[in-house]
Structure formats: structure tokens, C-alpha cells
Chain A
Amino acid sequence: MSVLEMKNISKSFPGVRALQHVDFRLCEGEIHALMGENGAGKSTLIKVLTGVYDKDEGEIFLKGLDKAALIRSPQDAQNLGISTVYQEITLCPNLSVAENMYIGRTKGMLTNWKKINDKADKILQQLEIPAKARQQLSSCSIAIQQMVAIARAVDMDCKVLILDEPTSSLDENEVEKLFTLMRNLREKGVGIIFVTHFLDQVYEVCDKITVLRDGQLVGEYVIEELPRVKLVAKMLGKELDDMSDIKSEALEYKGDDASKVPVFEAEGLQSNAGIKPFDFYINKGEVNGFTGLLGSGRSECVRAVFGADRVINGKVKMNGKKVKINKPIDAMKNGIAYLPEDRKIDGIIGDLSVRENIILALQVLKGFFRPFSKAQQYKFAEEYIKLLEIKTASADTPIKSLSGGNQQKVILGRWLLMNPEYLILDEPTRGIDVGTKVEIQKLVLKLASEGMSVTFISSETDEMLRTCSRMIVMRDRKVVGELTGSDLTQNKIMSTIAGGDK
């Protein structure tokens, strides 16, 4: 019995046909994965369903309604029992947790906040979310904010629950909790649409898969009938070459200056972001990484290296020479580039064009009084659009209208254009499809083989195992270990993270 049917949905944006005649069917009590590469149209389909976008064509049918549902705004969708938790947090950080859970849902002029706070606390407790109703949302970690968003959706007694990349900022424990919650809701007959890039998670909880590619429907499959390799092939539209072996294929950097003097070396480095002082070095042509649980301080470490947070202590050397890095421009002048973890807040300049976003860092480095000519800017932009296969209508398209993965490629292009000696990538593959992930990993290894030093951070351990030759393990904002060679295994990393000193 289907609870939702979308028929023949089409939607275009200037220069892009985001959806072309897509059908989608969701049954009661099932968890349905919506899969596709970045820009395949997943987010657009979700936004059409929830009334964020007006569809150009097509109809939506819901159980209990005899004619096509009219969904013009998120409010309409909510009233029809469609709840959404988006990839990016869409709550108000300046309000309390309870206010966020009940915003827009109180009736009448007067609100009994005490009652609402109590109700919110109860739900948070049921779902084992470590947050208090009266706490300001911005004081919670991103993971907990995400869970509050889910709690809000769950509490709205929905028929259709959409989870758009809910797990991308959660650690494994939290993901497990979420899955338990999802299974409970499935028992109650809720239809869940689950959008994710994590294949493991799809095979763990989902019943059915619908695959989109380039705005078109590829097909709907029962999970048992679609093994992983086939799924990936369907998403990419081609057979995937062996991902697990990219490292052995890649050339190792064999310059004679390798591992003589470290490209970058820090001693007792500490920033105001609350990490313990740490020592760190990277050799020419080396790929290393920081690993650890979410919030273990791995991002804070690289931010200290780049001067993104205020450095309060420590000595830093580049190629053996002492340098001072207090702010990002200092690091850039020393040939360090940093791709930040939060693309939306720290990475893109939303309203500026792809071209301006690409040239920005190099332009700043070149100087205020020496702007690139327009022709030069287009040359750079088009070079990297081609090199990184960025899907954009033109070099003048505002970056915010690109899909997440393509935005990330633009930011990557920005730093590659600077031709850095040392490239720091903090979660470059977060929220990005499998194909692009492999591309980025391959690119990292290629750059390293040409002599660039790269620090690679990812929540996915296997991704780091494929790229890094040395891993620094963090726990509780402290470096607790370093692994190389044969120690680089999933198990060894896990046990180091968990800690054997107790």
C-alpha cells in the first residue's frame, strides 16, 4: 500500500534540467533509499515534495487524498504529514532546543512554554538525545543539532519522513541510535525516504532503493536484488573501477629530497580552540591524516596549522626555516592551502560566481593592487572546471546554485590553483557521491606523487586507509598515537582511538 506517489515530476533551473519526468513511490512502513551522484536530482526531488520548490510538471498523490495533493510551501507539506530533516541544519541556532522543536506548531496567541519544555524534554529523553529543552541550540554540537531536527520531525506525527543526509555529521554510535529510531518508526507504518552517500548504511536499514542519474529515474529496486557493485554502477552509469586498490596503482613520490627536511614542522602548537599542544610534521610528497571521533580535535589541529583559529603557542618551521603563522594569509604565503570542513560556512562565497570563487585565494595572494584580467580569470576558471569536471552552466554561475559536490570541487580548484606546497583537506568528501570521492582520492595521491604534501581528514576510515601513509590518532583533543606501515588497519586504528591505556 503506497503512502506517497510522485508521478512525472519535472523541474528546471536556469541552465539546468534538474528533474525530468521522474516517478517515485513510497510504501507504508518501508525505508526507501534515494540514491544518486551529486547533482542527480535527489535534493531537488525532495524539495519539490516538501514545497520548497514549485514543480514545473507532474503530480503528487498521498494516501487518504483522492486527488493530487497541492504542496506549495513547507507548511503545506507539514500539514499533509510530510516531515523533513535536511542535510544542512535548518534550525535556528539562536533559539532554544524546545523552541526549535515546536516553532511554527503552536496554536493560538499564547504559548505555555513550561508545558512545551517538559514535552520536549520527554521526547529528547525517549530518543536518548543528550540535550536539554531550555539549552540554546547553538551550544549543541552539529550532531546533536541534527538529532534535534530529527526529534522535531518525529514528533510531528508524520506519514512520510524524509531524511536528507542525516548521518553525514554523526559518529557511528549516533548513527546506530538513529537507525534504531528509524526501525521503530518503520514498525509504526511510517514511510521513510533516506538520502545518503553511505552505501553501508543503505544496506543496513533500507528495504528499497530508487536510483536517479542526471535528473532522470534509473529505476526502483528491492535491496536484496541489487548488490553494491551494481548499485554503484547504476549511479555512475558505468562500471566502477576497483576503488580499493587505487593506492597501489599510484606512484610514490621518489624525489631525493623526500623525507630529508620536513616541509612543515610544528612543535607544541596550540590554538584557542581548546586542543592540547601537539607536535606535527609532514614530508615532501607525503599524505598523512588526522583521525579520531567527531569532536576529537582533528579539525582544530589543522586549523591551528593554517592559522584559522588564533594560535597561542608553538614553533612552526617550513622546510627547516622558522616562520610565523598567525593568520590564514601567513599560511598561504608559505604555500599552505586549507580546504575547510564546513563548506557552506567556511568555504564558498555563495553569491559570487564559480570563476570568482576559483580565483579568490590566488588573487588575494597576488595582492590587492594586482587584480587578474578578466581573460586570465576565465582562463583559470575554465581550466579547473575542465580539470575537475565541475558541472556548472558557466563560469559565471553563482556557486550557491551548484550541487554540494560541485561546490566542493570549486573550492578544491581554488586551492589547487594556488599550487600549494602543502595542502590540507578537511573532510573533502563529506556529502559527496562515490564517484567524486574516488576522483578526489586519486587526485590526492597524484598530487603527492608530484611532490605535494597533503594532510587528509575524513570520517570514513577506509577512505583514509586508501590514501594516507601515516595517520595521527586523536582522542579528547589530544594526539594519542601515530600509525604507519603495517599498523594501518581498521582494527589498529579503532583500538588506538578507543585507547589501551586504561
Chain B
Amino acid sequence: MGNTKSNRSIALFGSMKQLIIPVAALAVLILFNLIADPSFFRIGIEQNNAGNPVLSGNLISILDYGSELAILAIGMTIVTAATGGQDISIGSAIAIAGAVILRILCGTESAPETMKAPIIVAFLVACVVSMFFGAFNGMLVSVFKIQPMVATLILFTAGRSIAAWINSNRLPIVNEVEFTYFGGNIPGIALPTPFFIAVACVIIIALVLKFTNLGLYTQAVGINAKSSRLNGINPTFIKFLSFVILGLCVAVAGLIKVSRVSSINYSTIAKDIEMDAILAVALGGNALSGGKFSMTASILGAYVIQFLTTTLYKFKVPSNALPAYKAIVVIILVVLSAPVVREKLSSFWKKIRVSKKEAS
């Protein structure tokens, strides 16, 4: 049994290996910014709208906006692992969640003086609604065996209209400052709240993965659903469940999104965020065809994506040109993770190692 320990450390390294891609991407971005303009990393103290001192700077905004992406990446990773497909409706689903929150808080008025219900109630209702829409997607994928991207295309198309319909096309505004805490700062705390919400979500998912078999089941189903069934797992339910979990993540992201502006714009809220979330999963080195996954790598991937976005903004890339730049990243990623390239790289490493050995 002497060598089991070293075997285990190899396994640990194996999962660490997946972190190489996001970490390398992060290093490249940091290096680029250091050379191009070191002021990118400056962190200052500012007064926010409520008059509280808060930290500001590019790094803080990465932490801020990367957090909502990280929350979505958690759900997207599980959906990807279990179904081997992605949910492209999360942007629309966030619009629905946001609309529901505003509907509960404002009732039928457009800008009430006080909130009609506690925020927690509004949030919980949004959770239920988002999980319902997640269940709808999950049902299409697991029971009717529709390709995830095609199944979620339905909500992708209809979601924003549903969101507008929930508030009869009004754009309600919440006037209470308390509501801005979730997407902004809690008085006295200099870091943006989304970061703390993301930390809470990460802790929750870490606990869930540790104390349940969610990880084992989703991976087993994603790799071989037939054989999973013969081992007593219910693949249909696991796939369904993955979408419901993503629904929960969507509700949290929705709360942050509407809290940021205390209102909603149905057509632009969380626009294209599904692509960033999927990209986060891919950047984490997870196979988009499902199966094995690393949650840590996905979450890290989310922040790296946001780092990239912020860097591009910093260099005055117009926001409608952003996708083109992100596409370049996607190309590099996809090429790097292709089996052909991986094989070439590993044989290249081998050669280097051999020549080093010979030299010594």
C-alpha cells in the first residue's frame, strides 16, 4: 500500500491540471494589462450614491460583475455535466426573475413610495418561478429528450416577452435604498455585495457536492446514462434536477441584476449572459459534451471571462464589438482543448522532459 499515497497525489494533480487553462488565461490577461497600462490595477476609494465610502477600480468591478457570472456558471456546469448540453435561456430567465421581484415589490404601481412586500418574499417567489421555468426546460430535455440547446431556445425566445407581460409592460422602479444593497454595497462594507452572495453560493454548492452524491450522479449520467440506470440512478430525474438547480442560480442572478438599477429593461437585462456562462464552463476545461467536471475551474473561468470583458472595456472596445473579441478566446480555447492538439502538446512535453533528463 506504499504507493497509494503517491497515486492519490497524482489524482489530485489530475484535477488540478484542469485549472491550468483558466489560470493560464488569467496570467496572460494580467501580464497584458501590466505591460499595456499598469493603472488597470489601481484600487481607489469613492463615495457611492448613498454617500458611503466604497472601493472602486477595475479589479473591484471584475469582482462585482464576475460574481453574477460565477453564480450562473455553477448551475451551467451541472446542466452541462448531466445533459451534455447547455441552457441558452438563462438571460431571458433572469429577465423573468427580475420582473417577478419587481412585481412583488411594486405591486401594480410603477414607482411606489414603499415596498409592498419584504425583499425576501419577492426573492423567494422569484426562486419558485425560476425553478418552475427550469423545470420546464428540464422536462423538455429529460422526458421528451430534446437537445438542450433546442429545448431552451423556446424560453430564450419567449422569456423577455413573458417578463414584460408580468408587469404589464411597465418599468417599475423601487425607491427604497435597501433594495440597492444586493447589487451595490451594504453601508459600511467596501466590497460589492454580489461578491459575498457568490461566496455564499460557492459555499453552498461545495457543501452540496460534499454531502450529497450530486457530483457522482450527474457525472455518471453525463458519461453513460444507460449504465447509470442499471446502477439504480434515475437519469431522467437527474437531468431534470440539474435544470431546476440552474433555475435557482438564475433567481439569485436576477435579484442582483434588478437591484443594480432598482428597475428593469426587459430587452437588455442580462443580454448575452448565457454565452458568458457557457464560456466560463468551457474555459474551466470542462467538456461541453458532459461528464466529468470541475466546479472550481468553472467558477474561476467566470471571473476570467469578466476580467477579459473589463480589459476590453478599458481599451475602449465598443460593447457591440465585444463578442468578436470573445470569439477569438473561444477559438483559442476550442483549439487548445481539441484532442489532436492535446496529444501533440503532451508528446512535446515528453520530448522536453526526455531531453532534460539526458542533459542532466
Q: Do A and B bind each other?
A: yes
Given A371-B216, A396-B10, A361 contacting B231 (CB threshold 8 A): yes
Can you list 12 A-B pairs with a CB-CB distance of less than 8 A? A328-B231, A346-B227, A346-B230, A349-B220, A350-B224, A351-B292, A363-B213, A369-B212, A378-B8, A394-B11, A395-B4, A396-B11
A361 & B7 in contact (Cβ 8 Å cutoff)? no
Q: Are the C-beta atoms of A351 and B11 separated by less than 8 Å? A: no
Query: Do B220 and A346 have beta carbons less than 8 Å apart?
Result: no
A413 at interface, CB cutoff 8 A: no
Q: Contact check, B223 vs A351: say whether CB atoms are below 8 A apart.
A: yes
Distance of A54 Cα from B350 Cα, bound (Å): 14
Contacts of A347 in B (CB 8 A): 227, 230
Which B residues contact A (CB, under 8 angstroms)?
Answer: 1, 3-4, 7-8, 10-11, 14, 210-214, 216-217, 219-220, 223-224, 226-234, 291-292, 347
Residues of B within 8 A of A365 (CB): 232
CB-CB under 8 A from B210, the residues of chain A are 371
- Asked if A250 lies at the interface with its beta carbon under 8 angstroms from chain B, I say no
Does A236 sit within 8 A of B, measured CB to CB?
A: no
Using known A-B contacts A346-B230, A351-B219, A363-B213, determine if residue A393 contacts B292 with beta carbons closer than 8 Å.
no
When A369-B212, A371-B213 are in contact, do A349 and B10 touch as well, CB less than 8 Å? Answer: no
Contact A382 B227 (CB under 8 A): no
Stretch from A31-39, A197-205, A352-360, A475-483 contacting the other chain: A352-360
Let me know if B223 and A350 touch, CB within 8 A.
Answer: yes
Given A351-B292, A352-B220: A345 and B233 interface contact (C-beta under 8 Å):
no
Provided the pairs A345-B226, A345-B227, A351-B292 are in contact, do residues A394 and B233 lie with their beta carbons within 8 angstroms?
Answer: no
For the complex, what is the distance from the CA of A189 to the CA of B236, rounded to whole Å? 54
Cβ–Cβ contact B224 & A349, under 8 A: yes
Interface pair A396/B14, CB less than 8 Å apart: yes
- B336–chain A nearest beta-carbon distance, Å: 19
Of A338, A346, A351, A396, the contact of B8 (CB 8 Å cutoff): A396
Task: Note all chain B residues with C-beta closer than 8 A to A360.
Answer: 216, 220, 231
Q: A338-B230, A348-B224 are in contact. List 7 more A-B contacts (CB 8 A).
A: A340-B230, A347-B227, A348-B227, A351-B223, A352-B219, A364-B232, A369-B213
Asked if B232 and A361 sit within 8 Å, CB to CB, the answer is yes
Question: Which of A346, A353, A371 is within 8 Å of B211, CB to CB?
Answer: A371
A394 with B227: CB separation less than 8 A: no
> In the assembly, what is the distance between CA of A347 and CA of B229, in Å?
10
A293 → B minimal CB distance (Å): 24
* Contact assessment for B4 and A328 in the assembled complex, using a CB-CB cutoff below 8 Å: no
Assess whether A308 is interfacial by the CB under 8 Å rule.
yes
Which residues on the B side are within 8 Å of A356 (C-beta)? 216, 220
- What is the bound-complex CA distance between A76 and B226, given in angstroms? 35
Contact residue range for chain A? 35 or more
Q: Which residue of A lies closest to B238 (CB)?
A: A368
Residue A85 CB within 8 A of the other chain = no
Cβ–Cβ contact A394 & B10, under 8 A = yes
Q: How many whole Å from B351's CB to the nearest CB in chain A?
A: 11
Whether A351 touches B291, Cβ cut-off 8 Å, given contacts A356-B216, A371-B216, A394-B11, is yes
The answer to whether the Cβ of A332 comes within 8 Å of any Cβ in the partner chain is: yes
Residue pair A368, B220 in contact (C-beta under 8 Å): no
**A27 touches B (CB below 8 Å):** no
Give B345 Cβ to nearest chain A Cβ, in Å. Answer: 14
Q: Identify the interface centre among A54, A306, A345, A396: most chain B CB within 10 Å of its CB.
A: A396
Residue A178 is within 8 A (CB to CB) of chain B in the complex: no
Indicate if the CB atoms of A329 and B232 lie closer than 8 Å.
yes
| B residues near A395, Cβ cutoff 8 Å | 4, 7
Most chain A Cβ neighbours within 10 Å, of B3, B10, B231:
B231
Closest to B1 in A: A382
CA–CA, A54 and B233, complex, Å = 38
Chain B residues with Cβ below 8 Å from A328 are 229-232
Contacts of B234 in A (CB 8 A): 327, 329
**Pairs of residues from A and B, 5 with the lowest C-beta to C-beta distance, nearest first:** A394-B7, A396-B11, A329-B232, A364-B232, A332-B232
- Of the listed residues B3, B4, B216, B226, the one surrounded by the most CB atoms of chain A closer than 10 A to its CB is B216
